Amino acid sequence: MLSILIPSYNYNIVNLVNQVYRQVTDANILFEIIVADDCSTNKKFIEENKNIEKLEFCRLIRNNENIGRTATRNLLANKATYNLLLFLDADVLPKYNDFISRFNLSENNNFQVIYGGVSYYKEKPEDNKILRWKYGKEREAKSVKQRLKEPYFIISQNLLIKKDIFLQMNFMNTNTYGLDILFSNNLKTNNILVTHIDNPVYHLGLEENNIFIKKSLEAVKTTIQLEDKGSISNDLRPLQKSYLSLKKKRLTFLFSFFISIFIKIMERNFNSKNPNLFWFDLYRLNYYIELKSKKSV
């Protein structure tokens, strides 16, 4: 018995729902698919997505206001009929034709969380989306062996989880970017068993470079806010560890001064055909230091 839950905002989810519907039907599993539209503004997508309501065991619900992905997931979980929840983002497609069967639900009865992974197409996207594509390919698309080295680093766009576990771990409803770190931290601190399998989804909805940069900086800000609330430790992410190392050596000012000289060159590079991810790490670290410095003044 499986509840497949898809938060959506201004995206056509018909193809995803059709593929998953076909697979779960073939797997002969009792199921439901619930899509939550988080107050989309694109009328074309709103009309197109109504087609999923023609499918048996499929529901489309609509939020009256935009509450964000995290809160929408909580809404979906509370409306789910079954105790097994499969969360998928709207902008993904299964890599394998037996995506549902690969979760092996009949044998994985004792799991708490199963993460299938994420993948990216080999073909480069348009030039203005290369930064997000390259970041995804090099930082997110990992094999099971690689993921097991940091089992709690998960991206919740392809996640099978018990309903009670999810509601306990995903309690923040703030509409902000970068909350996966809190969810992962909650799983880790509560010793939740996370199983990794080879069952990725392709991430299709690549943001334009400038939007991805903006969201990445917002995630840095979210990290500091979570630190301040005591929701996560100050050494959870590589970004935080790098800051602590610089601070210990009293090099934060020198680092920021050095980055300020090259920041315009960096920003041009991020919008090039070959963005440098190491520079992108330094860019985000510099922003983290800036925010930390403002707090200490």
* DSSP-based helix, strand, coil % in the chain, nearest 5: 50, 15, 35
Question: Are the C-beta atoms of 34 and 46 separated by less than 8 Å?
Answer: no
Taking only the tens place, the pLDDT of each residue in 158-200 is: 999 999 999 998 876 666 776 788 888 889 899 998 999 999 9
pLDDT of residue 108 exceeding 70, the answer is: no
| Structural domain spans, the chain | 2-117+154-205, 210-296
Residue 97 DSSP one-character state: T
The CA distance from 108 to 29, in Å, is 14
Taking only the tens place, the pLDDT of each residue in 40-72 is: 999 999 999 999 999 999 999 999 998 888 889
Q: Considering just the CA atoms, what is the radius of gyration of the chain in Å?
A: 20
Which residues does 205 contact at the CB level (< 8 Å), separation at least 6? 11, 89, 90, 91, 92
CATH domain 2-117+154-205 topology: Spore Coat Polysaccharide Biosynthesis Protein SpsA; Chain A (3.90.550)
User: Within 10 A of 226 (CB to CB), how many other CB atoms are there?
Assistant: 22
**DSSP H/E element including 162:** strand 158-162
Which is higher by pLDDT, 75 or 176?
75
Taking only the tens place, the pLDDT of each residue in 247-265 is: 999 999 999 999 999 999 9
Q: pLDDT value at position 297? A: 40
pTM for the full predicted model: 0.92
In terms of DSSP bridges, do strands 201-203 and 92-94 run parallel, antiparallel, or are they unpaired? antiparallel
| DSSP characters over 231-296 | SS-TTSSHHHHHHHHHHHTT-HHHHHHHHHHHHHHHHHHHTSSS--HHHHHHHHHHHHHHHHHHHH
**DSSP H/E element including 194:** strand 194-196
Q: Looking at mean pLDDT, say which of 139-153, 160-174, 275-289 comes out highest.
A: 275-289
Mean pLDDT, residues 276-286: 97
